[in-house]
Amino acid sequence: MMAQSDLDLKEMALKEDLKFYFMNPCEKYRARRQIPWKLALQILKILMVTTQLVFFGLSNQLVVSFKEENTVAFKHLFLKGYSGTDEDDYSCSIYTQQDAYDSIFYVINQYRNLKNISLGTLGYEHEESGLKICKQQYKRGTMLPSNDTLNIDVSTETECILLKPKELTGKKAELKLNSSFFNLEFYRLIQVEISFKLKGIALQTIHARELPDCYAFQNTITFNNRAHSGKIKVYFDSDTDIQECKDWHIFNSVLQKNTQYILVFDGFVILSCLASLILCTRSIVLSSCPVVAFELFFTSLVGWPCSVRGR
């Protein structure tokens, strides 16, 4: 009789447990007055990660548009006769010797007077690196197309000239610019490559109550005469690196507090992710929460970069 009753009791308890197991949070609350704090934690975590993603996307969009507008501005500043839209995969093309010389010296002059021309917050890089002009050409050769005769040395040579920011004006610069380097022999010229590094500061982020970013633009203008078809294609390429500004003082700003808020918020995100992780691990161990397990995996993937950005 006792055993029977004990068995009944056990069966009842199991039934109860099973019933409870398949209840939704509302029913659980009604059954045992148990607050569904695990669910609340999950929802909180999703909300926090989503918020972080949105912030991340917005600040990223600023960065992308800043880079694109800078590239367009560089093309207008340094490419002579740039129409505003690229031809094919190159930006513009040159058909006469005079235009070729003009375009090259246009780049140099615009670079020299950059401070007085550019609207952006641009500056030269270190004193060492400056404007580097390299011409690549066949070593020597004579070509007389009229007689179908051609003497050419296939091996190429590359000559370079470096104009440091310090030397942009004055005697030394003039000497360099008047040197024989700029007597281009187009029949053996392969390409002229002008490269320079500029530094810029994006202030727009301040409006978004974030710290300003410092940028380094590695610009390369290539006059490509590889085809020797009478058409030099001009390529413009701008590689942008984001760097931390070394030395900044921002007055009257809520940036400091704001970054503290962001840090605190990031801390909460990490905490809630950790709590979720522990709960889910426990659930997996108890073999009762595969769905949450998947979510755990997904969350750790998504939440990580966001948390990292917060620093």
Residues 140-199 that bind its own copies (CB under 8 A): 143-155, 186-187, 198-199
Q: How far is 131 from 109, CA to CA, in rounded Å?
A: 11
Q: How far is 20 from 36, CA to CA, in rounded Å?
A: 13
Tell me how far, at minimum, the Cβ of 211 lies from its own copies, in Å. Answer: 10
Q: Which is nearer to its own copies, 17 or 247 (CB)?
A: 247
DSSP state, residue 167: G
Using rule CB under 8 A, residue 94 touches its own copies: yes
Which range of residues in 35-43, 64-72, 174-182, 263-271 is near its own copies by CB under 8 A?
Answer: 64-72
Tell me how far, at minimum, the Cβ of 200 lies from its own copies, in Å. Answer: 5
Under rule CB under 8 A, how many of the chain's residues touch its own copies? Answer: 74
Tell me how far, at minimum, the Cβ of 171 lies from its own copies, in Å. Answer: 24
Using rule CB under 8 A, residue 76 touches its own copies: yes
Number of neighbours of residue 179 by Cβ within 10 angstroms: 10
Per-residue contact string for residues 95-134; x = within reach of its own copies by CB under 8 A: xxxx-x---------------xxxxxxxxxxx--------
Using rule CB under 8 A, residue 1 touches its own copies: no
CB 209 within 8 A of CB 260: no
Q: Which is nearer to its own copies, 74 or 111 (CB)?
A: 74
* Binding residue (CB under 8 A) for its own copies from 5, 183, 229, 287: 229
- CA proximity to 66, closest of 186, 207, 230, 171: 207
Q: Which is nearer to its own copies, 138 or 265 (CB)?
A: 138
Using rule CB under 8 A, residue 232 touches its own copies: yes
- By CB under 8 A, the residues from 249 to 288 that bind its own copies are 249-253, 255
Using rule CB under 8 A, residue 85 touches its own copies: no
- Buried b / exposed e along 253-287 (16+ C-beta atoms within 10 A): eebeeeeeebeeebeebbebbeebeebbeebeeee
Using rule CB under 8 A, residue 242 touches its own copies: no
Q: How far is 311 from 309, CA to CA, in rounded Å?
A: 5
* Binding residue (CB under 8 A) for its own copies from 49, 202, 234, 280: 202
Altogether, the residues listed in the chain come to a count of: 311
* Binding residue (CB under 8 A) for its own copies from 72, 162, 208, 291: 72
Tell me how far, at minimum, the Cβ of 146 lies from its own copies, in Å. Answer: 4
* Binding residue (CB under 8 A) for its own copies from 166, 226, 257, 282: 226
CB 37 within 8 A of CB 290: no
Q: How far is 80 from 78, CA to CA, in rounded Å?
A: 6
Q: How far is 41 from 274, CA to CA, in rounded Å?
A: 11
Burial class (CB within 10 angstroms; exposed 0-12, middle 13-18, buried 19+) of 303:
buried
CB 279 within 8 A of CB 41: yes
* Binding residue (CB under 8 A) for its own copies from 24, 246, 287, 311: 246
CB 310 within 8 A of CB 263: yes
Q: Which is nearer to its own copies, 4 or 252 (CB)?
A: 252
CB 185 within 8 A of CB 221: no
Tell me how far, at minimum, the Cβ of 281 lies from its own copies, in Å. Answer: 44
